[in-house]
Amino acid sequence: MEEQIAELAAQVAALQGSAGVTNTMFAETFYYLTIPLMIIIHAGFLAYEMGASRMKNVLSSGVKNILAFAFMIPTFYFFGWWVYWGFPTGFTLSEGPAGISGAAYASAIAWGWGESAQYMGPNIADQASGVFFGAFALFAATTASIMSGAVIERIQTVGFVILAIVLGSFAWVLAAAWGWHADGWLVTEWGVHDFGAAGLVHAVAGFFALGVLINLGPRIGKFNADGSANEIAGHNMPLTVVGLMLIIVGFWGFLMACVIVPGEAWSWSGANPTTIYGTPITLSALGFNILMAVAGGIIGAWIITKDPFWMMSGALAGIISTASGLDLYYPALTFIIAFSAGLILKTCANFLEKRGIDDAVGAVTVHGTIGLYGMIMLGVFASGFPALSGEAGVPTISLVGQIVGSIVFFLVGFVPGYVVSLILKGMGMLRVPEGAELAGMDTVKVPAQGYPEGIPNSPAPAE
């Protein structure tokens, strides 16, 4: 009898070991797949912004996107990842209630050498942190690409790269540490909940872009002497629309990476998938809600504009407006919120344009305004739900908490965007010279031609 019990115990142990390996491999594979899916976002931004540029600026717009992606990876590794783990409780670098933050913890998990190799390397103790880092690095790259569309056709390349680094490897990371972390003070003190990063990625990036645009100024010919605006059309609307659809494809990877899946590397995540806050989430919820959000945003924008550019921008607005609560909403409510975002999208963009802001692709509105709209809608429809799992005394989701989070995310985006771009402007590093802008940035800044038969020097609209 004792031999049978011992044999059974050995079999159970073997099964548990096998299940642990399977869970770890699943977690690793899950995050690994989010990385190429999110790279599709950057293929989309590349096509979207090149299509939205005039022929004489096509490649310069492409160069910015390529550089934004490239610079985000090392800068996020060398200091952005550390900021996420070091600053959740504020600037004190102290450990938070969950014990997964502070200077010592950040130094261990962020830099993969010495004893900290257990967190980042091909180590049997932890196979998932490296690919989890990869997913976060792609979030950082996304913020830079959001900003890049707003400033096309007149920003200097080096100035843009500096701004992209500040945004992608510091500003949004600070917002994420405060509002997208189990130790984040916005979460533990105010009950802020932003599952799909509508505020801390999209709104931060959108309002960072607004700060830059104020100092950068409009493209030559955008506004007339009486303040009225001219349409400066991109050279290839089909390319722009296809690029927007590719961003939608990439969103599936973006939102997948917002899920904590079970695995030995995540001993605190339990047996079921959770949000970054430890609250329940299922891929089934994402399957329903992402599709409903895309459809609702497109239909809302179509009713108002009939314009394919704004219809596909409506698809983005639909996802962003519901992203904070995709883990909590029912599909019908997701559709309603996304539909309303599509309805207000163009009106919000017109509001900015009438105030002299030349946002070439509507990035401030789609990501900034709609991101904060989504944050507030969660406070309206999900008040009383847990903001964080398993922590006694943590406030529940509330309208007040979501408003506080929205204000913080606005400031974390706008203030560094405005200040850094103002400094660059004073140093002559923000905007290209007038002659270069009129001739076309491809002509003077890029050692290649997007159209080998010659770059049509499309004139700016008459003032």
Task: Indicate whether 161 belongs to any domain.
Answer: yes
Higher pLDDT, 130 or 430: 430
CA end-to-end span of the chain, whole Å? 95
What tokens appear for 364 in the block?
């401030």
pLDDT at 456 over 70: no
Task: Indicate whether 83 belongs to any domain.
Answer: yes
138 and 145 in contact (C-beta within 8 Å)?
Answer: no
DSSP 194-260: -TT-IIIIIIHHHHHHHHHHHHH-PPTTSB-TTSPBPP---S-HHHHHHHHHHHHHHHHHHHHTTSB
What tokens appear for 167 in the block?
């945004």
Number of domains in the chain: 1
Structure confidence at residue 14 (pLDDT): 46
pLDDT at 199 over 80: yes
Task: Indicate whether 289 belongs to any domain.
Answer: yes
Of 92-101, 347-356, 426-435, the range with the lowest mean pLDDT is: 92-101
What residue type is assigned to position 353 of the chain?
E
Q: Around Cβ 445, how many Cβ atoms within 10 Å?
A: 16
Structure confidence at residue 454 (pLDDT): 60
Q: What is the largest CA-CA distance in the chain?
A: 96
Rounded distance between C-alpha atoms, residue 269 and residue 154, angstroms: 46
Rounded distance between C-alpha atoms, residue 315 and residue 298, angstroms: 5
Task: Indicate whether 323 belongs to any domain.
Answer: yes
Higher pLDDT, 177 or 5: 177
Q: Choose among 383, 368, 420: nearest CA to 167.
A: 420
Of 121-130, 265-274, 290-299, 429-438, the range with the lowest mean pLDDT is: 121-130
Q: Which residues pair with 155 in a beta bridge?
A: 431
Task: Indicate whether 448 belongs to any domain.
Answer: no
Task: Indicate whether 456 belongs to any domain.
Answer: no
What residue type is assigned to position 54 of the chain?
R
Structure confidence at residue 217 (pLDDT): 95
pLDDT digits (tens, 9 = 90+) for 57-81: 999 999 999 999 999 999 998 889 9
What contacts 107, CB < 8 A, 6 or more positions away? 82, 86, 116
CATH number at residue 363: 1.10.3430.10
Which letter does DSSP use for residue 266 in this model? Answer: G
- Domain assignment of residue 245, given as a range: 21-89+101-442
Task: Indicate whether 396 belongs to any domain.
Answer: yes
The pLDDT of 287-309, averaged and rounded, is 96
What tokens appear for 268 in the block?
């605190």
Burial, 242: exposed, middle or buried (Cβ in 10 Å; 0-12, 13-18, 19+)? middle
Q: What is the mean pLDDT of the chain?
A: 88
Three-class DSSP category at 279: coil
Task: Indicate whether 8 belongs to any domain.
Answer: no
